[in-house]
A = this chain, B = another copy of it.
Amino acid sequence: MDLVTFGEAMVRLTPPNCQRLEQARSLDVYVGGGELNVAVGAARLGLGTSWVSRLSDNQLGRMIANRAREQGVDTGHVLWTRDDRAGLYFAELGAAPRASSVLYDRANSAIAGVAPGMVDWKRAFKGTRWFHTSGITPALSDSAAATVSEALGAAKSAGLTVSYDLNFRSKLWSADKARAVQEPLMQHVDILIVTEEDARVVFGITSGKASGEYANIDAESYVDVARQLQDKFDVGVVAITLRENPRVWQNSWSALVLAEGKVHRAPTYEVEIVDRIGAGDAFAAGLIFGKLCHDSWEKAVRYGTALSALKHTVPGDFSQSTLAEVEQLLKGTSLRVSR
């Protein structure tokens, strides 16, 4: 295995055609969850990946594991339980001026019952190079948070590179709680991935320069945020994804990495958006791939941003891209029909 990720995946239910849930007479069924999304994105690029989680041993739990396997992700370290339920979430896709929105129904899901000692991290990490998790997992329950801490420690002990996506979810916990729980975790983290907004909301870190939602993607102000994060937590690498979204169906998308004192910027992509959920996770997947395979933060941020740009163009949480497609985009792709 190159990569192990740890977190929840849910059955996702989405009304077709931008319908609201109240209107829906059928729902499209996807599977998604931040850390599984990362594993899928990376597996599709060719990394050996494993996803650790806890699932209910029923049809919905099996559906989640099946879809992970379908994409080439190993599920051999998943814990199975007869208790608890599968997490669900309902996602309504929007159109300006209505943002897309998520209704979580994940309380008491199987992974909320995960606790330190349940996962054999030593075995799970055997032969692995990288561990990734995100700020969603500790938000699920106190015991899940404790397990994240356990996992991060075990990963460091085992010599893995550790990346952590802040992924603040205001519908799961408050910013205060998020900060209190996560600040201690940062000591184990090698690469911290954030959006500018989450850095501000959770850690109170803002650029000196004013920066509104619709601002131009202004590299400098974000670099400032990255430096503050690096200083505050003594994290070697900070990656920030940059989004301008004057519309729901079209955004500008880019990212930067601050590593070893150097800033690496990806190109900005104009993306037409079929479904942006999971785009941040695709960024992490590409970043990990780029670093692991090319040992270059310059490449890492470029692979991450390109994979993520492509993720916006497909329905569902999962990246659907192949390595060849990402590399073609990195070379500069045409928008003519390929035939």
Residues of A that sit less than 8 Å from B by CB: 13, 16-29, 58-60, 62-63, 66-67, 69-72, 85-86, 88, 90, 92, 94-105, 107-108, 169-171, 197, 213, 245-250, 269-274, 276-277, 309-310, 312-316, 320, 325, 329, 333-339
Contact = CB atoms under 8 A, between A and B. Distances in A.
A325 to B, nearest CB: 8
Nearest to A253: B97
A59 B29 CA distance: 18
Contacts of A213: 334-336
A325 B21 CA distance: 14
A335 B246 contact: yes
Given A25-B25, A59-B22, A314-B19, A338 B102 contact: yes
A27 B29 contact: yes
In the complex, the count of this chain's copies comes to 6
Greatest chain B CB density within 10 A among A17, A59, A333 is at A59
A23 B247 CA distance: 26
A215 to B, nearest CB: 13
A85 B99 contact: no
Contacts of A85: 105, 107
Nearest to A172: B339
Contacts of A16: 17, 26
Contacts of A21: 59-60, 63
A107 B83 CA distance: 12
Contacts of A337: 99-102, 276-277
Contacts of A18: 274, 313-315
A337 B269 CA distance: 19
Greatest chain B CB density within 10 A among A17, A97, A325, A333 is at A97
